[in-house]
């Protein structure tokens, strides 16, 4: 063999360098392994990671305020909420433009519902104002129609505001649609979206902005031609405000058609009868006279907010910062404490009841333990609702348990025990429901403990208690750990059983989460409460790992 061959790279059977061939084989092996676990990864992403991510996003998302009231939130940046005075007319005008568009899209009620979570009464304010916002500006609309009759025609507004290119595109689109109808062909091409004429927004900023939104809503939401629809009354309000501030020289910079329409209107606005927008809002609802309403809009104008998390710990966000909730609304810290206490109590009760049962099952003959194990599994074959309802029958004051206690003389008939619709009823019912989740891990671990260890301890002089405590019990700790984790995590998230038997003092934080999801529809607060509950569980899991060690947990 030549020197060149002896010093060259080692080759595989197919003539390729061995290192490259090995790398290719390893990549193929990793790809096959990835393909095998891909379904599980997709399942975890879809059913676990994605919902948790969405929950975390909802707990801080607040875009509805800035998206629905973009002009108002910008105008409120310069308002001092500590002044005790209402915002300026500019803010009221911005709110008018935002609200009329929101009312057309039916978004004002959703906005009112969102802000009502922070300040009671705002939902009603937005609903009532939304019904009347179309009238704001009618005074100016009538005066413009009298001074410049052309402004009463929708086509005139298109001439003043619309880009000539858009008008040509729209005419071509209408012609194509008409041709399709004549030939019976389907025509699903959307119309070209309205575009403003160059330069008009510089001279008439408010009117151009509001009219453009009117035209786009007319096209997108209603499927109408802006040239055939009369503008909103607030559009005339915006035109009045623009013409009051613009000089005649600016009007001269417009094209001939626009100048011919707007020059007479500009000359006439000085003699118009004006009206205060603040008075219109106060007529719609007196709540607009409260600075707290405006302060709430200002405080929640950003796209993201800590408000939901603050509310979850009995705090609230204000324009001045974080403050305590009113005393009658401080419930969540108490619910978290109650949930942790009762979950730990249920876990402890399951240990006390489940350990002897699991020990008995593990040490009885196989045939007998199998029969008893069926009794342990029997609750899984019964509806949760039936089991919970049965406890209501057993524990109520006229129920079976109270009747037996009265019959044997332990309880006076006039002083029957109250064991339902309180914490006791919740602990009893949930202990019964979750007990199998403690017994099964304990039984599976105890079954693997060799009985010879205990016999050997006794042969060396240990008493029954010493042999159990020093030899048997340490080996059963992994089963206790597994059972505790299962029972505690299941208990802390339960809401059906506490709802049925807990009354007002035995409900969990999960019941409040379910209420916000299904009844109040405050999904942001529900997501924040769920995120805090998840964080508490993870924290306790970490503490458990530090004290006991998760490696010592076993399901047998």
Domain range list for the chain = 3-43, 67-135+276-327, 138-271, 332-552
Using CA atoms, how far apart are residues 155 and 227, in angstroms rounded to an integer?
Answer: 5
User: What is the mean predicted confidence (pLDDT) over 432-437?
Assistant: 93
Looking at 40-44, 106-110, 197-201, 547-551, which range is the least confident one? Answer: 547-551
Which pLDDT tens digit goes with each residue over 320-332?
Answer: 888 898 888 889 9
Q: Among the residues of 190-306, which ranges form H helices?
A: 200-203, 205-220, 233-245, 248-252, 256-268, 277-284, 291-299
Whether the pLDDT of residue 21 is over 80: the answer is no
Of the candidates 508, 361, 537, 342, the one whose C-alpha atom is nearest the C-alpha of residue 431 is 342
End-to-end CA distance of the chain: 62
Model pLDDT, residue 4: 46
Q: Which residues contact 439 (CB under 8 A, 6 or more apart)?
A: 354, 357, 358, 361, 376, 483
CA atoms within 13 A on the CB side of 261: 20
Whether the pLDDT of residue 546 is over 90: the answer is no
Model pLDDT, residue 443: 93
3-state SS of 402-470 is HHHHHHCCCCCHHHCCCCCCCHHHHHHHHHHHHHHHHHHHHHHHHCCCCCHHHHHHHHCCCCHHHHHHH
Model pLDDT, residue 295: 93
Looking at 1-5, 61-65, 169-173, 385-389, which range is the least confident one? Answer: 1-5
User: What is the mean predicted confidence (pLDDT) over 367-389?
Assistant: 87
CB neighbours of residue 264 within 10 Å: 15
Model pLDDT, residue 6: 53
How many percent of the chain have pLDDT more than 90? Answer: 53
Q: Which residues pair with 196 in a beta bridge?
A: 162
Using CA atoms, how far apart are residues 514 and 521, in angstroms rounded to an integer?
Answer: 10
CB neighbours of residue 539 within 10 Å: 10
Model pLDDT, residue 2: 46
Model pLDDT, residue 544: 79
Model pLDDT, residue 379: 83
Whether the pLDDT of residue 35 is over 80: the answer is yes
Residue 321's alpha-carbon distances to 116, 270, 317, 318, 411, in angstroms, are: 19, 44, 6, 5, 55
Looking at 312-316, 408-412, 448-452, 544-548, which range is the least confident one? Answer: 544-548
Model pLDDT, residue 553: 58
Model pLDDT, residue 180: 87
Mean pLDDT of the chain: 89
Which pLDDT tens digit goes with each residue over 334-358?
Answer: 999 999 999 999 999 999 999 999 9
User: What is the mean predicted confidence (pLDDT) over 41-67?
Assistant: 90
| CATH fold label, 332-552 | MetI-like fold (1.10.3720)
Which pLDDT tens digit goes with each residue over 236-265?
Answer: 999 999 999 988 788 888 888 888 889 999
């Amino acid at each position: 063999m030549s020197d060149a061959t002896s010093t060259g790279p080692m080759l595989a059977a197919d003539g390729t360098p061995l290192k490259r061939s090995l790398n290719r084989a390893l990549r193929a092996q990793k790809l096959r392994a990835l393909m095998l676990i891909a379904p599980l990864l997709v399942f975890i992403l879809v059913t676990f990671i994605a919902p948790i991510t969405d929950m975390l996003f909802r707990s801080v998302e607040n875009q509805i305020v800035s998206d629905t009231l973009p002009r108002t939130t910008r105008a409120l940046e310069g308002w001092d909420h500590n002044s005790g005075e209402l915002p300026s007319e500019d803010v009221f005008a911005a709110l008018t433009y935002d609200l009329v568009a929101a009312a057309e899209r039916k978004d004002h009620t959703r906005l009112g519902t969102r802000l009502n979570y922070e300040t009671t009464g705002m939902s009603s304010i937005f609903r009532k104002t939304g019904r009347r916002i179309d009238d704001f500006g009618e005074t100016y609309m009538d005066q413009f129609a009298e001074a410049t009759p052309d402004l009463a025609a929708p086509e005139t507004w298109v001439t003043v505001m619309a880009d000539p290119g858009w008008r040509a595109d729209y005419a071509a689109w209408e012609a194509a649609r008409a041709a399709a109808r004549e030939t019976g062909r389907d025509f699903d091409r959307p119309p070209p979206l309205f575009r403003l004429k160059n330069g008009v927004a510089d001279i008439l900023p408010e009117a151009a902005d509001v009219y453009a939104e009117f035209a786009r809503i007319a096209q997108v939401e209603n499927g109408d031609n802006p040239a055939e629809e009369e503008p909103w009354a607030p559009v005339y309000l915006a035109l009045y405000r623009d013409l009051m501030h613009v000089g005649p020289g600016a009007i001269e910079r417009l094209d001939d058609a626009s100048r011919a329409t707007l020059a007479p209107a500009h000359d006439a606005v000085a003699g118009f009868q004006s009206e205060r927008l603040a008075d219109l809002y106060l007529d719609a609802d007196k709540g607009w006279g409260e600075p707290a309403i405006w302060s709430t809009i200002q405080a929640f104008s950003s796209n993201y907010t800590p408000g939901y998390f603050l509310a979850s710990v009995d705090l609230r966000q204000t324009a001045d910062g974080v403050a305590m909730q009113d005393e009658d609304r401080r419930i969540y810290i108490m619910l978290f404490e109650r949930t942790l206490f009762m979950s730990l109590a249920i876990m402890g009760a399951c240990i006390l009841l489940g350990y002897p049962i699991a020990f008995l099952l593990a040490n009885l003959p196989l045939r007998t333990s199998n029969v008893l194990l069926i009794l342990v599994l029997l609750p899984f074959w019964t509806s949760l609702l039936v089991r919970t309802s049965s406890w209501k029958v057993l524990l109520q004051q006229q129920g079976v348990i109270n009747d037996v206690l009265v019959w044997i003389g332990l309880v006076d008939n006039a002083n029957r025990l109250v064991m339902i619709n309180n914490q006791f009823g919740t602990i009893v019912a949930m202990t019964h429901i979750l007990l199998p989740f403690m017994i099964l891990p304990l039984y599976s671990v105890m079954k693997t403990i060799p009985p010879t260890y205990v016999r050997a301890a006794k042969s060396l002089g240990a008493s029954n208690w010493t042999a159990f405590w020093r030899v048997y019990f340490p080996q059963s700790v992994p089963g206790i750990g597994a059972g505790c984790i299962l029972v505690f995590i299941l208990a802390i998230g339960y809401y059906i059983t506490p709802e049925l038997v807990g009354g007002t003092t035995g409900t969990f934080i999960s019941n409040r989460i379910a209420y916000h999801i299904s009844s109040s529809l405050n999904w942001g607060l529900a997501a924040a409460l769920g995120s805090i509950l998840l964080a508490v569980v993870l924290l306790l899991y970490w503490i458990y790992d530090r004290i006991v060690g998760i490696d010592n947990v076993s399901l047998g």
